[in-house]
Chains A and B, each alone.
Chain A
Amino acid sequence: MSAVASETKTRQLPYVVAITEGVREVLKEQANAFVAGEDVAGAGSVYGYYRGLLDEFGADRIYDTPISEKGIIGLGVGAAAAGLRPVLDIMFMDFIGECMDEIANQMAKMRFMFGGSATLPITVLTMAGAGANLAAQHSQSLEAWLAHLPGLKVVMPATPYDAKGLIIAAARDDNPVFVVLNKMSLAMMGDVPEGPYEVPIGKANVVRTGKNYTIVTLGRMLGQALDAAKQLAELGIDAEVIDARSVQPFDTEAVIKSVEKTHRAMVVHEAVRFGGFGAEIAAQIQEHAFDYLDAPVARVGAPFSPVPFSPALEKVYVPNAERIVVVAREQLGI
């Protein structure tokens, strides 16, 4: 974890408030930063994480937009190209479909296409995650879509601490950065220091150290993996749990270092397993640590179907600690 000045106070805060604090710090330190998105100003977002910012910073810094996602991203790309530092909000990650051209063909490529002359310091906050019975179009985790686009950065904070720190880092970065939040984490409590601090983009976090098993997680799956690690410990498996925190750039080094020690690895994410970002991680491991591996890399992700509505189906759809344990036992033959 990045250093925090010793005199700053740390409080227990929910993830949702940590997001607010992150954005607040950004608006405080960057005069050219502004927030734009659907229902972000008056309503403070449907999940409430901008609440209070309109009063605090005024209508010149936080804008309710029409329901026009292509417009929102376009606003950010154009404003950034013209020198501002936009913080954009795409209410649900599923809606990036509405603006994928602005993201994939404009935002991601502009700098490269124009020979490095354009700088796009854009932060996009968006809400992913299943488990709230919101069905197929409000529950997806689509980080793989974004991670596949050279020019973008993508981070997935799993804790309140990381949420605040990654938002600040994203806004200080001169590249477009997507901060993929998770709606099921909003109430999660955790230590959050006062004032500004950065969680570096591209640095994984070894949350639990272990000797003989590596679990790499994306986003909210950190919690599930830590629970699983406890159960695995009873089976004599001492799992090291690494929160990737950033999928683009991805901290291959941290993962390889762990696998060289543990010799067995699993990747866990909420997104559909097939073609998910876990496939890239598994490929990285076999490319860089093939000789260290004692077992094929296991992957845990959602089944190959859209997110179902029915609680009975969604319950089995979203990866959890039990599933991680089952897959680990299959992989390890125990």
Chain B
Amino acid sequence: MARIHKTVTGDGFLAKQPTNKTLLDIHRRMVRIRHFEERAGKLMEDGKIPGALHLYVGQEAVAAGVMVHLTAEDQITSTHRGHGHLIAKGGDFDRMYAELFGRSTGYCKGKGGSMHISNMDLGMLGANGIVGGGPPIAMGAAFANKFRKSKHVAVAFFGDGASNEGSFHEAANMASLYKLPAIFVCENNGYGEYTAQANHQAVVDVADRAAGYGMPGVIVDGMDAVAVYEAAGEAIARARKGQGPTLLECKTYRFYDHVGVRGMGLNYRTDDEVKKWMKRDPIKLFEARLAEQKVLSKKQAEAVHAEVLAEIEAAVAFAEQSPMPDVASLLDDVYSTAG
């Protein structure tokens, strides 16, 4: 997948308007996430994917708008809701579905599953079953980037709920202290599991917390891919220039339940609220704008969807036909045997 390495021109950290190529790239990444997740949800309901599945549907603009700025050498850390991050970072459907199915051909050889899906070669340092697990690791990766004097950045994705873990606060402080090329992207979807944000933190804007660590905090509309693209571009450019971390809060929403599609059937969100957010479907909003700007016609958009869907069919077939891991592999990779 094409990755656009941002160049920064002029004063400040000003990012240029996205080119058509970039816009189409963002669009494709979002569509890839959406269909991958929709299909994964169905496969889970059909009993084909074991374990827990946290779907990213609704939040696609965040992963796509950020990741389009990154190269494979830039690192990210993800969350329990990690498929979207890996896809946007260039994840391959075959190996992703294979992992969800627990097959040996999966990214983690079937050992990680949905909650730990990752690929180091793509700079994806792990979906994480531990809420708040990512930010310190991203901080460490950013440290490595600075240590090596590279221009690469590390991005930590985490939720509103995760912003209450001490790990986030320690990572934010250290990243700012050492002026590390880190970006803390909070995907504020208003809930940690079944607890509304108002019941888990006294602030409404996680970005307010940035000031306490001496870094800028910014809020953007997480349903607007261009808004995310612009703000992330600034934060990333700033980090590449050695000016330290940023806390970027994207206000977003997950369309499905915390786990799975329908989840446990708890009435913690009103239908009205869900509907209101679904009206702001980030893909539909983006496609409408792209059509308006004559960047992508309705027909062309449909073709992208069709292509992605076909790729998914093939990937699911690949996964289903892949072998389960050999029992003997259980003890592999506990330690490195090199060196």
Residues of chain A at the chain B interface (Cβ within 8 Å): 38-39, 42-43, 46, 48, 64-71, 94-95, 97-98, 132-138, 303-306, 308-313, 316-317
A66 to B329 Cα, complex, angstroms: 38
Q: Please indicate the chain A residues that have their CB under 8 angstroms from the CB of B325 in the complex.
A: 308, 310, 312-313
Contact present for B129 and A310 (CB under 8 Å): no
Q: Is B178 interfacial (CB-CB < 8 Å)?
A: no
| Residue of A whose beta carbon sits closest to that of B268 | A42
Would you call B338 an interface residue if the criterion is a C-beta within 8 Å of the partner chain's C-beta atoms?
Answer: no
Interface flag for B72 (CB, 8 Å): no
Is the beta-carbon distance between B115 and A66 smaller than 8 angstroms? Answer: no
Are A313 and B327 CB-contacts (below 8 A) given A38-B195, A304-B334? yes
In angstroms, Cα B331 to Cα A9, docked, is 49
Q: Does B111 contact A (CB under 8 A)?
A: yes
Q: Is the interface of A mostly helix, strand, loop or mixed?
A: loop
Cβ-closest chain B residue relative to A92:
B129
Contact B199 A64 (CB under 8 A): yes
Residues on B facing A (Cβ under 8 Å): 50-52, 102-104, 108, 110-113, 115-116, 128-132, 161-162, 164-167, 192-195, 199-201, 264, 266, 268, 324-325, 327, 329-331, 334
Distance between Cα atoms of A46 and B194 in the complex (Å): 9
Once A39-B193, A133-B50, A313-B329 are accepted as A-B contacts, the answer to whether A67 and B111 lie under 8 Å apart by CB is no
Residue of A nearest to B200 (CB): A66
List the A side residues contacting B200 at CB < 8 Å: 64-67
The 4 A-B pairs at the shortest CB distance, nearest first, are namely A309-B113, A310-B102, A137-B129, A133-B51
Contact partners of B330 in chain A: CB under 8 A: 303, 305, 308, 313, 316-317
Q: A94-B129, A98-B132, A312-B324 are in contact. List 16 more A-B contacts (CB 8 A).
A: A39-B195, A42-B195, A43-B194, A65-B200, A68-B166, A133-B51, A134-B52, A137-B115, A138-B115, A306-B334, A310-B102, A310-B103, A310-B111, A313-B110, A313-B325, A317-B330
A95 / chain B contacts, CB cutoff of 8 Å: 130
Chain A: minimal CB distance from B114 (Å): 8
Of all chain B residues, the one with the shortest Cβ separation from A138 is: B129
Contact yes or no, B192 A135, CB < 8 A: no
B130 touches A309 (CB 8 A): no
**Smallest distance from the beta carbon of A92 to chain B beta carbons, Å?**
8
Closest to B51 in A: A133
Question: Per a CB cutoff under 8 Å, which of A39, A46, A97 touches B130?
Answer: A97
Q: Chain B's nearest CB lies how many Å from the CB of A129?
A: 14
Please name all residues of chain B whose beta carbon is closer than 8 Å to the beta carbon of A65 when the two chains form the complex: 200
- Please tell me if the beta carbons of A68 and B164 are within 8 angstroms of each other in the complex: yes
Choice from A42, A70, A303, A310 contacting B324 with Cβ under 8 Å: A310
Q: Check A43–B324 contact: CB distance below 8 A.
A: no
> By the criterion CB–CB under 8 Å, are A305 and B194 in contact?
no
Evaluate contact between A43 and B195: CB separation under 8 angstroms: yes
Q: In whole Å, how far is B285's beta carbon from the nearest beta carbon of chain A?
A: 30
- Nearest CB on A from B236, distance (A): 27
CB distance from B109 to the nearest CB of A (A): 8
Give the residue of A38, A66, A98, A310 whose beta carbon is less than 8 angstroms from that of B113: A310
With most chain A CB atoms within 10 A of its CB, the pick from B103, B108, B324, B330 is: B330
Question: If the complex has contacts A43-B193, A304-B331, A311-B50, are A70 and B166 also in contact, measured as CB distance less than 8 A?
Answer: yes
Contact A309 B110 (CB under 8 A): yes
> Quick check: A67 and B161 within 8 Å, CB to CB?
yes
Are B102 and A316 interface neighbours, CB within 8 A? no
CA separation between A209 and B113, bound complex, in Å? 42
In the bound complex, residues from chain B placing their C-beta under 8 Å from that of A38 are 192-193, 195
The CA of A304 and the CA of B266, in the complex, are separated in Å by 38
Neighbour of B112 across the interface among A70, A309, A311, CB < 8 A: A309
Instruction: Provide the residues of chain B in CB contact with A43, threshold 8 Å.
Output: 193-195, 264, 266, 268
**CA of A271 to CA of B123, assembled, Å:** 32
Residue contact B111 to A309, C-beta cutoff 8 Å: yes
Kindly state the separation between the CA atoms of A325 and B132 in the bound complex, as whole angstroms.
42
Cα distance, A69 to B165, chains bound together (Å): 8
22 contacts between A and B (CB under 8 A): A39-B194, A42-B268, A46-B264, A64-B195, A64-B199, A66-B192, A69-B165, A94-B130, A95-B130, A133-B51, A135-B113, A135-B129, A136-B112, A137-B130, A305-B330, A309-B102, A309-B110, A310-B102, A310-B104, A310-B113, A312-B110, A316-B327
Give the CA-CA distance A65 to B201 in the complex, in Å.
Answer: 9
Contact A313 B111 (CB under 8 A): yes
Give chain A nearest CB distance to B116 CB in angstroms.
6
Give the Cβ gap from A62 to chain B, nearest Cβ, in Å: 13
User: How far in angstroms is the closest Cβ of chain B from A310?
Assistant: 3
Complexed CA–CA distance, A120 and B200 (Å): 26
Contacts of B111 in A (CB 8 A): 135-136, 306, 308-310, 313
A323 CB → nearest B CB, Å? 13
The docked-state distance in angstroms from the alpha carbon of A94 to that of B195 is 21
Whether the pair B327, A67 counts as a contact (CB closer than 8 A) is no
Query: How distant is the Cα of A67 from the Cα of B200 in the complex, in angstroms?
Result: 8
Q: Is the CB of B130 within 8 A of A98?
A: yes
Query: Which residues from chain B contact A69 at a C-beta distance below 8 Å?
Result: 165
| Docked-complex contact B331 and A305, CB < 8 angstroms | yes
* B129 close to A68 (CB less than 8 A): no
Instruction: Collect the chain B residues with CB atoms within 8 Å of residue A304's CB.
Output: 331, 334
A133 to B49, CA, bound (A): 10
Contact between B110 and A67, CB atoms less than 8 A apart: no
